[in-house]
Amino acid sequence: KGAEEAAAELGDVEIIYTGPTSTTAEGQIEVINALIAQGVNAIAISANDPDAVAPALQRAMDRGITVISWDSGVAKEGRQLHLNPSSSALIGNTIIKLAADHIDGTGDVAILSATSTSTNQNIWIEEAKKVLPNYPNVNLVATVYGDDLADKSYREAQGLMATYPNLKAIIAPTTVGILAASQAVTDAGKIGEINVTGLGLPSEMAGAVESGATISFAIWNPIDLGYAATMLSYNLIKGAEAAPGASIPMGRIGAATLDENNEAAMSDPFTYDKSNIEAFKSIF
């Protein structure tokens, strides 16, 4: 949606939105090859696997195509720049803070992630662990993976509750995970005992917030993300240089400043709870 908004604003841009048969790296490579063959000007990708798609993207760049990654990143050699939805550190900090706030800073928490291969998740978890010492009484007991499958995430959440009777919060930095975990907590009748938090879309989380399984959660604006990725690609095609320290404009959002890894962050995550979810759930 955001990409279309950007395209409309720019006028001379056509967006091809496509995806592979299955959520595998091999499938994504097939799509990349098809895009290269069509001679597109730019590819903006959210990678299923940061390393596996890199060689294919390198070939795209060899053929003069602008390549950026967004959301879930690609290894450095496989793209010109990477747009994080938000500063990883900030996300890491936010998810821990959201968990800690509602348990008065004391108790066991566990992380329910997506697949073990998703770069973004892993970075956020890293960052979250870094800030843990700031919460001396918060005890991170486990990190499990639900593979972004509803049933597996649900079962993993159940497993967490069974294994750690004193669990106070589950952090799921993924939409599928946070939904499944809220459901598991609701079904186990532990609303109020265990708080589920993490990253999710307001439209999907409305129910969980209402039931109280989730008190608050965070997310950036995904529409802005698509918009920004399109803007960045456009500007790179038009001659902007992706180099450490460079600043590339992103239309109405401002400009992205690249760090030493050619990564940039879009905006801060925004926290949703009972007070504002109604307003946002119809937007994204």
Partner 1 sequence: MSLLKSREALLALAILLLIGVVAARFPAFVRPANLANVLNDTSPLIILAIGQMIVILTKCIDLSVAANLALCGMVAALMNGAGVPLPLILMGVVALGAGLGAVNGVLVWKLGIPSIVVTLGTMTIFRGTIFLITDGKWVNAHQMSDGFKALPRTVLLGLPVMSWMAIALIILFTVVLTRTALGRSFYAVGGNPHAAVYAGINVGRTQFSAFVISGALAGLAGYLWVARYAVAYVDIAGGFELDVVAACVIGGVAIAGGAGTVAGAVLGALFLGVIKNALPVVGISPFWQMAISGAAIVLAVTFNATQARAPGRIILKSAEAR
Partner 2 sequence: MTPHHRIIPDRLQSPATRALRSWEAILVAVAIAVFVTNSFASPYFLNVWNLSDATFNFTEKALIAFAMAMLIIAGDIDLSVASIIALSSTAMGVAMAAGADTPVLVLIGIGTGLLCGAINGALVAGLGLPSIVVTIGTMSLFRGVAYIILGDKAFTGYPASFKFFGQGYVWWVISFELALFAAMAVVYYVLLHRTSFGRAVFAIGNNATAAQFSGIRVARVRFILFLLTGVMSGIAAVCLTSRLGSTRPSIATGWELEIVTMVVLGGVSILGGAGSVAGVFLAALIMGMVTFGFGLLNVPGIVMSIFLGVLLIVVIALPRLLRRG
Binding site for partner 1 (CB under 8 A): 19, 22-23, 116, 144-145, 149-151, 154-156, 158-160, 162-163, 165, 176, 179-180, 182-183, 187, 203-208, 210, 281
In the bound state with partner 2, the residue whose beta carbon lies nearer, of 21 and 247, is 21
**DSSP one-letter string for 60-110:** HHHTT-EEEEESS---GGG-SEEEESS-HHHHHHHHHHHHHHTTTT-EEEE
Residue 156 touches which of partner 1, partner 2, none (CB < 5 to 8 A by kind)?
partner 1
Residue 25 touches which of partner 2, partner 1, none (CB < 5 to 8 A by kind)?
partner 2
The one-letter amino acid code at 282 reads: S
The residues of the shown chain that bind partner 2, judged by CB under 8 A, are 16-22, 24-27, 29-31, 33-34, 36-39, 49-55, 59, 75, 115-117, 122, 145
In the bound state with partner 2, the residue whose beta carbon lies nearer, of 28 and 182, is 28
Residue 212 touches which of partner 1, partner 2, none (CB < 5 to 8 A by kind)?
none
Minimum Å gap between C-beta 276 and partner 1 is 15
Helix (H, G, I), strand (E, B) or coil at 11: coil
Residue 54 touches which of partner 2, partner 1, none (CB < 5 to 8 A by kind)?
partner 2
In the bound state with partner 2, the residue whose beta carbon lies nearer, of 8 and 16, is 16
Distance CA 200, CA 182 (A): 11
In the bound state with partner 2, the residue whose beta carbon lies nearer, of 110 and 219, is 110
In the bound state with partner 2, the residue whose beta carbon lies nearer, of 145 and 234, is 145
Residues ≥6 apart with Cβ < 8 Å to 217: 98, 178, 196, 197, 198, 199, 200, 205, 209, 271, 272, 273
Minimum Å gap between C-beta 91 and partner 2 is 18
Minimum Å gap between C-beta 247 and partner 2 is 30
| Rounded to 5°, angle at Cα 150 from 30 and 221 | 70
In the bound state with partner 2, the residue whose beta carbon lies nearer, of 55 and 212, is 55
Which phi-psi region, left, alpha or beta, contains residue 210 (left: φ > 0; alpha: ψ -120 to 50)? alpha
In the bound state with partner 2, the residue whose beta carbon lies nearer, of 75 and 240, is 75
User: For tokens 């700031």, what's the residue?
Assistant: 134
Residues ≥6 apart with Cβ < 8 Å to 110: 140, 141, 142, 143, 144, 160, 164, 167, 169, 170, 171
Minimum Å gap between C-beta 182 and partner 1 is 8
Minimum Å gap between C-beta 11 and partner 1 is 27
Q: HSE of 155 in the Cβ direction (CA atoms, 13 Å)? A: 7
Q: Identify any residues that bridge with 218 across adjacent strands, giving them in sequence order.
A: 199, 271
Minimum Å gap between C-beta 23 and partner 1 is 7
Minimum Å gap between C-beta 210 and partner 2 is 33
Distance CA 146, CA 170 (A): 13
